């Protein structure tokens, strides 16, 4: 946006304000002094939290939501369609309308920025960086696509020179950021509507890594090559010992203990510790701080237990690699039986990756497949694509294993409530609203 005016003179209206990323941008813009308003398609706790800090956040999209005046800047979530009534009204009034990447790019230009990118692990790794800095007495800015349990918020401007953000490849917004330290956790094709091939995706990550002063990249030849001939810090988690609900390892000669499970989180922790070290944290202090990291919202988050005594854990996993990693992490807790209730996210992703989802879900003792959460896509554009593709793929991957096709929450709740017992563990997996199913099953 590069607006020369002070933030206190600016008026921003965010369409799609309820999502974790957009609500974070709204929060930080308000902290900087801007007058902020916005809307989302339905009521929800995200809007409630924004209203609590004085932001005019409304449910439903309507032209009347856009504030009067010709100086309003309208910022769009990547999920907002061009024919959204507020977008059409803003354009009709001649207002400036930009994507969220423009606002985030401006915010990253105000601080020394650590940007975490990758198909998986962005939210957790960025949360770990912010947690370590906070645990070492710093007050970093952070913009995270989930709640940082350390503070109960997903965003804060802080007063530290450093800002921690997620760099999202889904809409190429990561290429709009001003980055001093880039972290790349992995590169896998996940957004088939944006990238025609893995090669095209890798080219985007190469562009991200071209300019930062520091690059922290998972130690894989194909990933390190994306940095070209510039200096790169290759990382890996070495000597990891997995424990129930956590792990321990050595990093730079220091013992590190983690309270979040899985090898993938050990790798995330090493990346986060390296980023914090570059930001001025002493390694020993960083290792001590990360031991108390309890996770990020919707990342292996315990919701409670069912009436039958089964533990329910919610996770945002929506790619086969993430599903497999979350199931493996759940195994470290030693459940009698591991049940996975998976909600596919996006018809395009389901069509492309159904087979891989089936193989990943075969790692559970019982897989329950829900119907696709469409997000910004329409079923009519993807004939023949629904959750049954994934259910059939699980059967193919694990012949003879029981697989349940439970398209709606009401049916899924009824069936699972009768099947879950003590010492079972239920994972509710997906980037849509599948958490609601977990919450229905939990006894308050």
Per the residue annotation, which of 73, 106, 166, 322 is the catalytic one?
A: 166
User: In whole angstroms, what is the distance from residue 184 CA to residue 62 CA?
Assistant: 39
User: In whole angstroms, what is the distance from residue 123 CA to residue 265 CA?
Assistant: 11
Helix residue spans in 154-312 (DSSP H): 198-209, 221-224, 263-278, 283-290
Contacts for 425 with CB less than 8 Å, ≥ 6 apart: 310, 311, 312, 313, 330, 333, 335, 337, 338, 339
**Continuous segment of H or E residues that includes residue 72:** strand 72-76
Per the residue annotation, which of 122, 147, 301, 306 is the catalytic one?
A: 122
User: In whole angstroms, what is the distance from residue 15 CA to residue 85 CA?
Assistant: 10
C-alpha torsion 75→32→174→267, nearest 10 = -130
166 is annotated as an active-site residue: yes
User: In whole angstroms, what is the distance from residue 403 CA to residue 413 CA?
Assistant: 15
439 is annotated as an active-site residue: no
Start-to-end C-alpha separation, the chain: 46
Question: Facing residues of 166 across strands?
Answer: 116
274 is annotated as an active-site residue: no
The alpha carbon of residue 266 and the mean position of all alpha carbons in its chain are separated, in whole angstroms, by 17
User: In whole angstroms, what is the distance from residue 439 CA to residue 444 CA?
Assistant: 9
**Continuous segment of H or E residues that includes residue 392:** helix 388-397
User: In whole angstroms, what is the distance from residue 160 CA to residue 148 CA?
Assistant: 17
User: In whole angstroms, what is the distance from residue 439 CA to residue 390 CA?
Assistant: 23
- Asked whether the beta carbons of 341 and 416 are under 8 A apart, the reply is yes
- Asked whether the beta carbons of 363 and 324 are under 8 A apart, the reply is yes
The alpha carbon of residue 299 and the mean position of all alpha carbons in its chain are separated, in whole angstroms, by 8
- Asked whether the beta carbons of 242 and 274 are under 8 A apart, the reply is no
Q: What is the largest CA-CA distance in the chain?
A: 65
User: In whole angstroms, what is the distance from residue 219 CA to residue 241 CA?
Assistant: 19
Residues marked as catalytic = 122-123, 166
């Amino acid at each position: 946006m590069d607006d020369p005016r002070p933030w206190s003179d600016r008026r921003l209206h965010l369409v799609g304000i309820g999502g974790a990323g957009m609500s974070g941008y709204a929060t930080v813009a308000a902290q900087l002094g801007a007058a902020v308003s916005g809307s989302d398609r339905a009521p929800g706790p995200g809007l409630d939290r924004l209203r609590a800090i004085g932001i005019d956040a409304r449910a439903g999209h309507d032209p009347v939501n856009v504030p009067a005046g010709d100086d309003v800047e309208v910022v769009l979530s990547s999920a907002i369609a061009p024919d959204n009534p507020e977008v059409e009204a803003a354009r009709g009034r001649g207002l400036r309308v930009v994507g969220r990447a423009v606002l985030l790019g401006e915010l990253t230009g105000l601080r020394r920025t650590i940007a975490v990118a990758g198909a998986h692990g962005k939210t957790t790794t960025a949360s770990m960086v912010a947690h370590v800095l906070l645990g070492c007495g710093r007050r970093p800015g952070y913009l995270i696509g989930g709640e940082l349990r350390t503070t109960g918020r997903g965003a804060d401007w802080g007063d530290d020179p450093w800002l921690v953000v997620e760099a999202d490849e889904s809409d190429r917004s990561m290429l709009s950021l001003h980055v001093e330290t880039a972290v790349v956790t992995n590169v896998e094709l996940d957004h088939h509507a944006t990238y025609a091939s893995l090669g095209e995706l890798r080219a985007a990550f190469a562009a991200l890594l071209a300019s930062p002063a520091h690059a922290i990249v998972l130690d894989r030849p194909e990933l390190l090559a994306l940095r070209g001939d510039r200096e790169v810090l290759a990382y890996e988690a070495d000597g990891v010992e997995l424990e129930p609900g956590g792990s321990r390892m050595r990093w730079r000669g220091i013992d590190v203990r983690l309270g979040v499970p899985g090898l993938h989180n050990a790798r995330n922790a090493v990346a986060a510790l390296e980023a914090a070290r570059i930001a001025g944290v002493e390694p020993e202090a960083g290792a001590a701080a990360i031991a108390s990291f309890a996770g990020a919202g919707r990342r292996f988050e315990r919701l409670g237990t069912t009436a039958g005594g089964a533990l329910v854990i919610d996770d945002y996993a929506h790619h086969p690699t993430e599903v497999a990693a979350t199931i493996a992490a759940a195994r470290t807790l030693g459940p009698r039986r591991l049940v996975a209730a998976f909600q596919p996210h996006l018809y395009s992703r389901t069509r492309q990756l159904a087979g891989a989802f089936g193989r990943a879900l075969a790692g559970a003792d019982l897989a329950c497949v829900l119907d696709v959460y469409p997000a910004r896509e329409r079923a009519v554009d993807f004939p023949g694509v629904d959750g049954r593709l994934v259910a059939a793929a699980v059967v193919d991957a694990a012949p003879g294993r029981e697989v349940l096709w439970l398209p709606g929450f009401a049916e899924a709740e009824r069936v699972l409530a009768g099947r879950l017992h003590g010492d079972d563990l239920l994972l509710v997996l997906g980037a849509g609203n599948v958490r609601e199913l977990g919450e229905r099953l939990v006894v308050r």
